[in-house]
Amino acid sequence: MDLGHAGARAVVTGGGANIGRGIAHGFAREGARVLVVDVDAAQAEQVRAELVDLGAADARALTLDLTTDGAGAAVVAAALEAWGGVDVLVNNAGWSEPGWFAQQTDRALWQKTIEVNLFAAIDCTQAALGPMREAGRGAIVFLSSDSAFGAVRQGIYGSTKAGLIALARTVAREHGRHGIRSNVIAPGLVLPPDDAAVGASSVWAREDLFTPEQIDSVVRTQALRRPTTPDDIANAVLWVSSETAARQVTGQVVAVGGGSSMP
Ligand SMILES: NC(=O)c1ccc[n+]([C@@H]2O[C@H](COP(=O)([O-])OP(=O)(O)OC[C@H]3O[C@@H](n4cnc5c(N)ncnc54)[C@H](O)[C@@H]3O)[C@@H](O)[C@H]2O)c1
């Protein structure tokens, strides 16, 4: 099925690593124009070059800390300047520090988690809505998580990921009449497929993020006892953002984790 993404103007935040990189790759393979936004300049540029090789109609990189004032406007301005609009916004940038809720008492940690996961998505989405409303169409995808439904050692992080679901559904209800669809993909555990997928600011740069035992136990509790890959997430994002394949789908949460959660 032709998803209709050829030439589409897609923005992927946090596109420099792991899942965001996989999503950017997916759009490139569909012949879209892709803007990779990341705080890590080297990773953003590396992925941009990969997108060209994969067949993107155009590929650009924007180095930006999405937690700074005016970041969302700068992201959308870059797409408008390059291509005159945004067809797909993927709010993928994220950050997490796993830990027991009662022990995660550091307010700076709460602040960073909320800034990166929730405020950056609010900011980029608000900035994209104007041009999308003007165009009478657009797709916004939020990367949530299994943790949104409650998970040990993910209390602060999971709260932000649950917030994204409310945000996505509000956007869906308020802006559907303007042809804008807003959906959520909730990945299960997705390990980076190779070294090229991890830069210094990726959470996976930390070798102790999860122990092999923790990873093994996550996979064993999934209905499909096999790992989830960035391509699995990308395929779901490509589908849900397609005006052809998901024309009547909005406000939905699709969990892609081998049945780790079933929202
Ligand atoms: N990997 C998983 O197991 C998993 C599971 C569920 C949900 N998720 C969510 O999927 C998304 C991607 O996860 P990932 O594993 O690829 O993470 P990652 O840490 O490997 O990549 C995130 C990217 O976002 C960028 N980023 C972080 N803060 C930024 C900022 N302030 N401004 C701009 N860019 C910034 C990083 O530089 C990095 O390139 C995140 O939202 C994450 O919470 C991941």
pLDDT of 250: 99
Judge whether 2 lies within some domain: no
| Cα distance between residue 170 and residue 190, in whole Å | 27
Q: 37 or 207: which carries more pLDDT confidence?
A: 37
Catalytic residue, candidates 83, 149, 157, 210: 157
Supply the angle between the helices 41-54 and 18-29 in degrees, to the nearest 10. Answer: 30
User: Please, which pLDDT band fits residue 263 given cuts at 50, 70 and 90?
Assistant: very high
Q: How many domains does the chain have?
A: 1
* N- to C-terminal Cα separation, the chain: 27
The domain containing residue 40 runs over which residues? 9-256
Q: Is residue 262 part of a domain?
A: no
Band of residue 207 on the pLDDT scale cut at 50, 70, 90: confident
- Of 82-91, 105-114, 200-209, the least confident: 200-209
User: Which residues face 185 on adjacent strands?
Assistant: 143, 254
45 CA → ligand 1 middle, Å: 17
CA distances from 203 to 56, 209, 228 (A): 27, 7, 17
| Nearest in space to 139 (alpha carbons), one of 21, 10, 1, 6 | 10
Is 55 a member of any domain? yes
In a domain, 77, yes or no: yes
In a domain, 4, yes or no: no
Is the CB–ligand 1 distance for residue 124 below 6 Å? no
Q: What is the pLDDT, as a whole number, of residue 252?
A: 98
**Which helix (DSSP H) or strand (DSSP E) does residue 78 occupy?**
helix 71-83
Q: Residue 89 domain-assigned?
A: yes
* Probe target for ligand 1 pocket from 11, 12, 13, 18, with the most ligand atoms within 8 Å of CB: 18
Confidence check: pLDDT of 202 > 90 = yes
Give a yes or no: residue 261 inside a domain: no
H runs (alpha helix) in 140-208: 155-175
Model-wide pTM > 0.75: yes
Q: Is 157 a catalytic residue?
A: yes
Pocket test for ligand 1, best of 38, 142, 185, 253 (most atoms within 8 A of CB): 38
In a domain, residue 14? The reply is: yes
**Does residue 208 carry a pLDDT above 90?**
no
Rg, the chain, Cα only: 17
Ligand 1 mean position, distance from CA 177 (Å): 31
Q: Is the pLDDT of residue 7 over 90?
A: yes
Residues 28-80 have pLDDT tens digits of: 999 999 999 999 999 999 999 999 999 999 999 999 999 999 999 999 999 99
Q: What's the CATH number where 23 sits? A: 3.40.50.720
In the reported structure, the alpha carbon of residue 133 is separated from the centroid of ligand 1 by a whole-number distance in angstroms of 28
